[in-house]
């Protein structure tokens, strides 16, 4: 598995990707059209899973959502239908901020743009990451959503101890992620933990 560094910036209730990340030294979303600047406005489908789901501007109330962050779908656990309005949104805005880094639209002043604002994002909230079965089923449901374009990459921002996300592949959940990367052709980026007294890490699960 490879280790990568991630350059993210979070401001209040709006988030954006750094210019380095979206440029030619990063994912170069400006050239590929992921920023929505080309005819292929919705070039890819993206997924994200967190303790809570992202809020969706225009669907959830303004007090819970960021105006530049509009996921295509928001879900709770393994249900395939849209989450209940205003339900299971992160109280600290973390999931919404992560979604903003991924697909946030540029504001009138040109600021706060995500790395791929032209992508369609599907956000799921999972209540208990320590329940391997629940988490695996929720992620499997996300990967199997009958959507166009299909989800090709999913971000997991784990807010759990490092010991839970050891990348030795022994836990049921990490084995599922490895299986899904291989069989469902989904790229997983796993970031953990959030605690200041633990060392953050980002792990990329790729095919093979």
Q: What is the pLDDT of residues 83-122, one digit of tens each?
A: 999 999 988 898 999 999 899 888 776 666 788 888 899 9
Q: What is the pLDDT of residues 133-175, one digit of tens each?
A: 898 999 999 999 999 889 999 998 766 654 555 555 677 888 8
Q: Quick check: 25 pLDDT over 50?
A: yes
Q: Quick check: 194 pLDDT over 90?
A: no
What is the pairing mode between strands 73-76 and 120-125? parallel
So what's the pLDDT on residue 60? Answer: 97
Q: Quick check: 10 pLDDT over 80?
A: no
Nearest Cα to 58, choosing from 47, 45, 72? 72
So what's the pLDDT on residue 151? Answer: 92
Number of other CB atoms surrounding residue 27 within 10 Å: 15
Where are the chain's structural domains?
Answer: 2-205
So what's the pLDDT on residue 14? Answer: 47
Which residues have a Cβ under 8 Å from the Cβ of 162 and sit 6 or more positions away? 192, 193, 198, 199, 201
- Residue of higher predicted confidence among 93 and 40: 93
Confidence of residue 6 (pLDDT cuts 50, 70, 90): very low
Structure tokens at 180: 């899904």
Q: What angle do CA 132, 135, 137 make, to 5 degrees?
A: 105
Mind spelling out the 3-state secondary structure of the chain?
A: CEECCCCEEEECCEEEECHHHHCCCCCCHHHHCCCCCCCCCCCCEEEEEECCECCCECCECCCCCCCCCCCCEEEECCCCCCCCCCCCECCCCHHHHHHHHHHCCCCCCCCCCCCCCCCEEEEEECCCCCCHHHHHHHHHHHHCCCCCCCEEEEEEECCCCHHHHCCCCCCHHHHHHHHHHHHCCCEEEEEECCCCCCCCEEEEECCC
So what's the pLDDT on residue 9? Answer: 35
- How far is Cα 72 from Cα 45, in angstroms, rounded to an integer? 9
- Listed range (6-20, 88-102, 145-159, 189-203) with the worst mean pLDDT: 6-20
Confidence of residue 27 (pLDDT cuts 50, 70, 90): low
Please give the mean pLDDT across all residues of the chain. 76
Average pLDDT over residues 191-196: 60
Which residues have a Cβ under 8 Å from the Cβ of 118 and sit 6 or more positions away? 29, 33, 34, 35, 36, 37, 38, 40, 41, 42, 43, 103
So what's the pLDDT on residue 23? Answer: 64
Q: Quick check: 200 pLDDT over 80?
A: no
Q: What are phi and psi of 182, to 5 degrees?
A: -80, -45
């Amino acid at each position: 598995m490879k280790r990568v560094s991630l350059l993210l910036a979070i401001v209040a209730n709006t988030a954006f990707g750094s210019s380095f990340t979206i440029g030619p030294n990063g994912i170069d979303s400006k050239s590929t059209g992921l920023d929505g600047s080309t005819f292929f406005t919705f070039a890819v489908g993206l997924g994200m899973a967190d303790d809570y789901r992202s809020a969706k501007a225009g669907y959830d109330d303004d007090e819970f959502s960021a105006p530049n962050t509009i996921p295509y779908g928001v879900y709770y656990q393994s249900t395939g239908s849209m989450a209940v309005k205003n339900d299971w949104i992160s109280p600290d805005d973390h999931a919404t901020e992560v979604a903003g880094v991924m697909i946030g639209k540029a504001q009138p002043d040109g600021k706060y743009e995500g790395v791929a604002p032209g992508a369609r994002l599907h956000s799921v909230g999972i209540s208990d990451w320590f329940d391997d079965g629940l988490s695996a089923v929720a992620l499997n449901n996300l990967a199997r959503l009958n959507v166009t374009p299909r989800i090709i990459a999913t971000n997991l921002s784990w807010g759990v101890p490092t010991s839970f996300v050891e990348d030795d592949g022994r836990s049921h959940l990490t084995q599922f992620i490895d299986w899904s990367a291989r069989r469902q052709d989904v790229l997983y980026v796993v970031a953990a933990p959030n605690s200041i007294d633990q060392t953050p890490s980002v792990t990329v699960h790729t095919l093979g």
